[in-house]
Amino acid sequence: MLKVSDFDHIPVLLYPTVDALNVRPGGIYVDCTAGGGSHSAEIARRMRGQGILVSIDKDDAALAACMERREAFEGINWMPVKSDYRDIDDIIRSLKIGKVDGIMADLGVSSYQLDTAERGFSYMKNGPLDMRMDPNEWLTAAEVVNKYSRDDLERIFREYGEERHAGRIADGICERRRTKPFSRTTELAAAIKEYMPGHGSGEDQHPAKRCFQAIRIEVNHELSGLESLLQDGIRKLKPGGRFAVISFHSLEDRIVKEAFRSAESPCTCPRDFPVCVCGKKSLGTVITKKPIEPTEEEIEINPRSRSSKLRVFERNDNEQYN
């Protein structure tokens, strides 16, 4: 079994996130991305031996490390669950919990996943083209890179990676794979760099970063899962319950921002209507009008936190959409 000591992961925005949840003893909390259990452990510490904590992850290694952390806390009903956070509604129903006091999600890839070459997430480490959060799923990065059509590759690079050279890179990949399919991460990263104008010499980051992000999102269906999590999670909060989400790139952040904004102001009536006739009522309040970002000190300790943003929503007592 993988141990906490093996699951090397520095949590991002740890205290701002748990602070935002207003954790209290006896409450019910859900960590939708358990990772190695760092955020879950801090939530458990503040629960002071009372309440229920559900830690969800679809990575077996992450859950194994999380379960080891659980041994240090007595009194709390801490339940690790292997699942996808898109299924939060089914998970909570199956546990017969009802409404919860707080939900959090850290949408980043863990340091363990990035640093373990065999997982295939990193363009800096030589490993198989995998990128599956759940190794039991069938779709891999190799399948995407070698089997997707040229147009589909361009689409995911442009939409999920916001890569301005998406078409050119897709052309290069399709030309290369005709004679030799891609199988290794560093092989693909080098090819992407080669296909970019000037071989990516003007980039502030590795030229393959955006395309690797796009492939990872496609393999794990991350954005559609996030939309389901946000929609269902808000409805599972008790009045006064909070939802805290850490995002790492603009696509995720826009989805979180829009979901929270729509829950706060769902009215679809034209602006010039004197009164609301659509009947849609606010579900709560966006606590973070601007996202919380890491301090310079945190960025220095953990450079991977640089792009992170935390947004928080608080549920009201409107029961309209429960």
Q: Is residue 3 part of a domain?
A: no
Distance CA 260, CA 314 (A): 9
Same domain, 198 and 214: yes
Q: Is the pLDDT of residue 200 over 60?
A: no
Single residue among 220, 254, 270 that ends a domain in this structure:
220
Q: Residue 75 — very low, low, confident or very high, per pLDDT cuts 50/70/90?
A: confident
- Which residues make beta-bridge pairs with 82? 57
Same-domain status, 195 and 274: no
Does 79 map to a domain?
yes
Highest-confidence segment of 15-24, 55-64, 110-119: 15-24
Q: Label residue 243 exposed, middle or buried (CB < 10 Å: 0-12, 13-18, 19+).
A: buried
Tokens of 52: 């229920």
More confident of the two residues 7 and 120: 120
The parent domain of residue 137 ranges over 122-220
Residue 35 lies in a domain: yes
Evaluate the CA torsion angle 29, 33, 37, 39 in order and state its sign: negative
Cα distance between residue 47 and residue 26, in whole Å: 7
In the three-class reduction of DSSP (H, G, I as helix; E, B as strand; rest coil), residue 82 is classed as strand
The domain total for the chain is: 2
pLDDT higher than 60, residue 250: yes
Could you read off the pLDDT of 126-164 as tens digits, one per residue? 999 999 988 889 999 999 999 999 999 999 999 999 999
Mark whether 213 and 230 lie in a shared domain: no
Do 235 and 100 lie in one domain? The reply is yes
Same domain, 185 and 238: no
Residue 88 domain-assigned (yes or no): yes
Same structural domain for residues 139 and 211? yes
Let me know if residue 150 belongs to a domain.
Answer: yes
- The H-assigned helical ranges of the chain are 14-20, 38-47, 60-70, 88-94, 111-115, 141-147, 150-161, 166-177, 185-195, 209-220, 222-235, 250-264, 296-301
- Give the per-residue pLDDT at 321: 45
Longest dimension (CA), the chain: 65
Amino acid (1-letter code) at residue 228: S
Confidence of residue 186 (pLDDT cuts 50, 70, 90): very high
239 domain residue, yes or no: yes
Residue 189 pLDDT greater than 50, yes or no:
yes
CATH code for the domain in which residue 140 is found: 1.10.150.170
Query: What is the reported pTM?
Result: 0.89
Confidence of residue 51 (pLDDT cuts 50, 70, 90): very high
Which one of 176, 204, 220 terminates a domain?
220
Q: What is the pLDDT of residue 277?
A: 73
Structural domain contains residue 23: yes
Do 99 and 229 reside in the same domain of the chain? Answer: yes
Domain boundary among 179, 195, 220: 220
**pLDDT confidence band for 4 (50 / 70 / 90):** very low
Same domain, 99 and 184: no
High-pLDDT (> 70) share of the chain, %: 94
Tell me, yes or no, whether 200 and 244 share the same domain: no
- For 50-79, what is the mean pLDDT? 90
Q: What is the CATH number of the domain that holds 47?
A: 3.40.50.150
Residue 186: CB atoms within 10 Å = 15
Residues 102 and 226 in one domain: yes
- Tell me, yes or no, whether 202 and 227 share the same domain: no
**What band does 74 get if pLDDT is binned at 50, 70 and 90?**
confident
pLDDT class of 179 with cuts at 50, 70, 90? very high
237 within domain boundaries: yes
Contact of 57 with 113, CB cutoff 8 Å: no
- Match 């759940």 to its residue by tokens: 134
Average pLDDT over residues 273-286: 82
79 and 129 part of one domain: no
